[in-house]
Structure 1
Amino acid sequence: MSTRALLFLSSYSPLFLILSMRGWRDSRYLAVGLGIIALLSISGLVLFLRLARKLQASRLFVASVKSRDGDVMSYIVTYLLPFLAIKMNDKMDVASLGLLLSVVGVLYVNSNLIHTNPILSIMGYHLFEIEDSDRKTSTLICKRSYIRTGSELSAVSVGDYVLMEKS
């Protein structure tokens, strides 16, 4: 599974849990399935972050930096979807929601939308878009809330254009 796909699934785990709770009376099998997907995606993210800390880091010079923490709030709008009278026992509602989540998933994975992961925020991570001295733009996942332009940091590559600071 790609880094972006894991980040997408984990970013939607709160939605899956909400759908699971809302659909418990209508379809227990679907509710349990969504709950399992949510728990597995969060567990996968935690394991991924632990393994990433063990990778060999390299030094990089931050030529420019932009905080992306604020992007999470715009993402929250998608969490309103389950409250739009979706019934878990209505196959058309479930299918249309599945189609919508599939389209959003493809857009998320193929675009640079990893800035929008509330689970990373809950876990205390901050997201930055940085440009290094080679003019390569990447997303940096780190625990610090501020990075200064011109600073040097130690980071590991955890995916295409995705870095994690090693502290």
Structure 2
Amino acid sequence: MISKFAKIIFVLTSLAPVLISLSLSLTDSSTEIRISLILLALILFLLAKVTLEEIAKNGEIEPIKIISLKTADHEVLAYLVTYLVPFLASISVQNAIIIYTIIFISIYNSNAYHFNPLIGLLKYHFYQIETESNVSYILITKKEIRNVQMIKHISHITDYLVIDKDIV
């Protein structure tokens, strides 16, 4: 498990679309700043992709017995408000940095980092699962799960975020 590193990557990646929104809203800023924000968003997206693929391939395999499951893909909608903030008012780069630092800290501390639209673009789905030992996790998988027995092995990304090992 690469808990802290992965958690930071996923928080940053969940905010990457904000960088694109900010770039589009900063019409008075230099082209270099706007392009830099877009490039940073792309780098974060690729870093999340590589991190997920690496854990899916090389993470420690753990058996799991799931007793309940529900989709959590819809939680991504909560991020839309964050993505639209740059368009709501004319804000300076300095104020944007302060706002998004506060949002970053909030997402990191609330463990809401796994609901990430960019991961959804990679065709991953999010499920809230409960194991036979009554522990709840968020499962990331490329499968559309119809039966809890479809998932037999996982790898931990963070303490309560796991990835389906059967997708490799």
Matched, 1:19 2:22: yes
8 Å Cα contact 1:138/1:163 also seen in 2: yes
Percent identity (aligned): 25
Q: What is the aligned partner in structure 2 of residue 138 from structure 1?
A: 137
Residues 21, 87 of structure 2: 8 Å contact kept: no
- Structure 2 unaligned regions, length at least 5: none
Spell out the pairing of 1:146-161 with structure 2 (5 A cutoff).
146-149=145-148, 152-161=151-160
* Equivalent residues of 2:66, 2:129 under 8 A apart: yes
| Counterpart in the other structure of 1:128 | 127
> Are positions 1:83 and 2:87 aligned together?
yes
Contact 1:86 1:94 in 2 (8 A): no
Stretch moving more, 148-157 or 67-76: 148-157
Partner of 1:8: 11
Q: Residues 114 and 128 (structure 1 numbering): CA distance in 2 closer, same or farther, change over 3 Å?
A: farther
- The aligned length equals 162
Q: 1:29-60: CA deviations, max 9, x gaps?
A: 43233223212211111110121122231110
Choose the corresponding residue for 1:40, options 32, 38, 43.
43
| TM-score (structure 1 length as normaliser) | 0.85
Separation (CA, whole Å) in 1 of partners of 2:60 and 2:8:
23
Shift of 1:114: 2.7
Aligned-pair Cα RMSD in Å: 2.0
* Shift in CA distance, 30/152, structure 1 to aligned 2, threshold 3 Å: closer
Report the secondary structure of 2:73's partner residue: coil
Alpha-carbon distance in structure 2 between the residues aligned to 1:152 and 1:15: 33
Equivalent position amino acid for 2:160 in 1: Y
Moved more, 1-10 or 75-84: 1-10
Give, in angstroms, the shift of residue 65 of structure 1: 1.7
Measure how far apart 1:156 and its partner are: 0.7
**Shift in CA distance, 131/30, structure 1 to aligned 2, threshold 3 Å:** same
Task: State the 1:145 CA deviation.
Answer: 2.2
Specify the alignment match of 2:98 in structure 1.
Answer: 99
**In the alignment, what sits opposite 2:109?**
110
**How far has the Cα of 1:28 moved from its partner?**
3.0
Query: Which secondary structure does the structure 1 equivalent of 2:36 belong to?
Result: helix
> Unaligned stretches of 5+ in structure 1?
88-92
Does structure 2 retain, via aligned residues, the 8 Å contact 1:10–1:119? yes
